[in-house]
Amino acid sequence: MLVPFSDAEVLEVFGATTRSKRLIIVADDSPMIHRHTVPILEDDGYEVRGAVDGMEALELIKQCSPDLVITDVEMPKLDGYGVCKALKADPATAHLPVLMCSSLGEATDLERGFDAGADDYLVKPVIPEELSTRVRALVQGSLPASREKVLVVDD
């Protein structure tokens, strides 16, 4: 890359954006989950976009560069485990935090989620306060300033 860098290029390198609100993708095939979850997240100050299956979620993630992905496990076309594995395998999205949110709550389900690369796992039905707390922790952890220190030297 040539110097000087534009602000947009520097932000792109560190995975940051100039959006005024953090963007969350909610991937779930249940309209009821979208009606329940989206208002909670919007009330917390996030911008939210929805997907109804795993393939749509991956396309939306490529287009939008979100700050967090919340995915159900059981979805058509591509399940939440597949979404998570695809995100973590791609260097462009490996840093992206993923919160799995599913009615599958056995220890083996949670283990499978974390093995797929999930950063956190919530069992449905979700308590709004718990969702808000987990999302806040994941989004704050994804901010470049909270992850690493960067020294830029320029003449």
pLDDT tens digits, 43-76: 999 999 999 999 999 999 999 999 999 999 999 9
| Bridge partners, 26 (sequence order) | 50, 70
Q: Which pLDDT score is estimated for 152?
A: 75
d(CA 40, CA 34): 10
Residue linked to tokens 């989206």: 38
Q: How many CB atoms lie within 10 A of CB 44?
A: 18
User: What's the pLDDT at 60?
Assistant: 96
Please state whether the predicted TM-score (pTM) of the whole model is above 0.85.
no
- Tell me the C-alpha distance between 145 and 5, whole Å: 19
The segments of the chain whose pLDDT lies below 50 read: 143-147
Read off the tokens for 77. Answer: 């076309």
Between CA 82 and CA 72 the distance in angstroms is 11
State the residue for tokens 């960067």.
150
